[in-house]
Amino acid sequence: MWIYELFYKKGNKIVSLNIGNYITPLTLAIWISDDGCFCPSTGGRGGVRISCNSFRLEEVEYLTNILRTKFDLDCTIQKIYLKDKYSIYIKKKKYSITRLENFILPYLHISMHYKLGVLNK
């Protein structure tokens, strides 16, 4: 029950102030498996977008900061077409996608590799 209380307040999903303690390569792999998608780009590798539709902008900023500081990922916040909804975009530049792969591929089920743009043959 404590984990529910950590991430839900009055039935609404929230970002707990100590969520950084729980974001590991494993939890990042699960998060991307659930809410992530690969965004191809012309001229090379693309980036990865993580949907954060349930969270306020301040919470998305907090999550983005955790990804920057804990994993050294180059990421931005992008406003999506829905009112007051955002996503986190992990850029292909500065080797962020390579770093992300190194962190989460050991935990990512092979059926989810496409979320990083990795095609298995």
Domain-located, residue 7: no
pLDDT beyond 90 at 121: no
Domain-located, residue 4: no
Task: Please say whether the beta carbons of 25 and 103 come within 8 A.
Answer: yes
| pTM attached to this predicted model | 0.88
Domain-located, residue 11: no
d(CA 7, CA 98): 30
Domain-located, residue 1: no
Domain-located, residue 39: yes
Q: Is residue 7 very low, low, confident or very high in pLDDT (cuts 50, 70, 90)?
A: confident
Q: What is the pLDDT of residues 35-56, one digit of tens each?
A: 999 998 766 668 999 999 889 9
Domain-located, residue 121: no
Q: What is the pLDDT of residues 59-72, one digit of tens each?
A: 999 999 999 999 99
Q: Which of 91, 22, 19 is nearest to 55 (CA)?
A: 19
Domain-located, residue 101: yes
Q: Is residue 117 very low, low, confident or very high in pLDDT (cuts 50, 70, 90)?
A: confident
- Report the number of distinct structural domains present in the chain: 1
Q: What is the pLDDT of residues 67-115, one digit of tens each?
A: 999 999 999 999 988 888 999 999 987 789 999 999 999 999 999 999 9
**CATH code, domain with 24:** 3.10.28.10
Residue span of the structural domain in which 73 resides: 17-116
d(CA 90, CA 121): 25
pLDDT beyond 80 at 116: yes
Domain-located, residue 53: yes
Q: What is the pLDDT of residue 81?
A: 86
